[in-house]
Amino acid sequence: MAEVKLTAEARADFGKGAARRLRREAKVPGVVYGHGAEPQHVAVDSHALMMALKTPNALIRLDVDGKSELVIPKAVQREAIRRFLVHVDFLAVKKGEKVAVELPIQTEGDLAPGGNLLEHVLNTLPVEAEATHIPESVTVSIAGLEAGNAVLAKDIVLPAGVSLAVEDDAVVLQVVSAQAEAPAEAEGEAA
């Protein structure tokens, strides 16, 4: 995963009014925490941050007033309707350090014929990975799965250096049979 470089400025104003002023200036208020240090309040350019967050679990080199630090976004708050960024929490990380993240699950292949449906029990897979080598996603093959089959967390092949942060027998995906048409509806169509 490539590093994304962002510039931030330290901020001393807090509260709703200060956050609104920052957003009017096209900046997002945030906080950097981790490694036992005092939390550092920052303001980041809204557009640059939005572009950086397009990659899940992005590794960001954050330059705050001349001091550079590796961070990952830990919590991102968005406005409910228009989806613009409201606030972001960054977790400071170091090379070689393991972090807990959630990887998006992608599927490949086709289910067995018969009109079955694939149900995502988990949309993301909780894992622990080295901070500078976080995969973008995990891919699961669903080729030939039939109704009643399930994919467990332990069945997913993870990249080297990545371990599960969920129980091995947790169901990630399952195949369910499509519901048959209700008899009353079938009789109404025949008439």
Strands (DSSP E) contained in 35-170 are: 37-45, 59-64, 67-78, 85-92, 98-108, 117-120, 124-130, 138-141, 150-152, 163-164
Q: Spell out the domain ranges in the chain.
A: 3-93, 99-176
C-beta atoms surrounding 48 within 10 Å: 18
Are 128 and 162 in contact, with CB atoms under 8 Å apart? yes
Question: pLDDT at position 116, please?
Answer: 85
Tell me if the domain spanning 3-93 has CATH number 3.30.70.260.
no
Mean pLDDT by runs of 10 across the 191 residues of the chain is 83 84 89 87 91 84 89 87 88 88 89 85 91 87 88 90 90 84 56 54
Amino acid 43: pLDDT: 92
Between the CA of residue 124 and those of 51, 110, 180, what are the distances in Å?
21, 20, 30
CA separation for the pair 7, 5 (Å, rounded): 7
Q: How far is CA 126 from CA 32, 66, 135, 137, in A?
A: 22, 34, 12, 11
The rounded radius of gyration (Å) of the Cα atoms in the chain is 22
User: CATH number for the 99-176 domain, one of 1.10.1060.10, 2.30.110.10, 2.170.120.20, 2.115.10.20?
Assistant: 2.170.120.20
pTM of the model: 0.72
